[in-house]
Amino acid sequence: MTKNALPTSAKFRQARDDLPAELRPVYDDMVTDYSWCTQSRYGRGYVAYQVLAEMVRMGWRPTHDRVVG
């Protein structure tokens, strides 16, 4: 997966579709960043989509601009 590509799996779609429309961009950014970090650190882009969706529902938001390094 590239840094900007969103997954196409059924699990990703289900978790995303269950969110209100206004939270989907936050979720998309979180999935993209989390996947990129696990891919670069561990060689595998594993993401627990339902867990990330729940964190977004609970109010998770980035605290500053993204810094990729």
Report mean pLDDT in 10-residue bins for the chain, 69 residues. Answer: 74 96 95 89 88 95 71
The answer to the question of residue 2 being in a domain is no
The answer to the question of residue 62 being in a domain is no
Question: What domain range includes position 51?
Answer: 10-57
Q: How far is Cα 44 from Cα 19, in angstroms, rounded to an integer?
A: 25
Phi then psi for residue 54, to 5 deg, are -65, -40
Token pair listed for 34: 């989390």
The answer to the question of residue 53 being in a domain is yes
The answer to the question of residue 67 being in a domain is no
Sign of CA dihedral 6, 44, 15, 20: negative
The answer to the question of residue 40 being in a domain is yes
| Confidence (pLDDT) at 45 | 74
| Confidence (pLDDT) at 1 | 46
Question: What domain count does the chain have?
Answer: 1
The answer to the question of residue 51 being in a domain is yes
Q: How far is Cα 38 from Cα 46, in angstroms, rounded to an integer?
A: 7
| Confidence (pLDDT) at 62 | 82
The answer to the question of residue 66 being in a domain is no
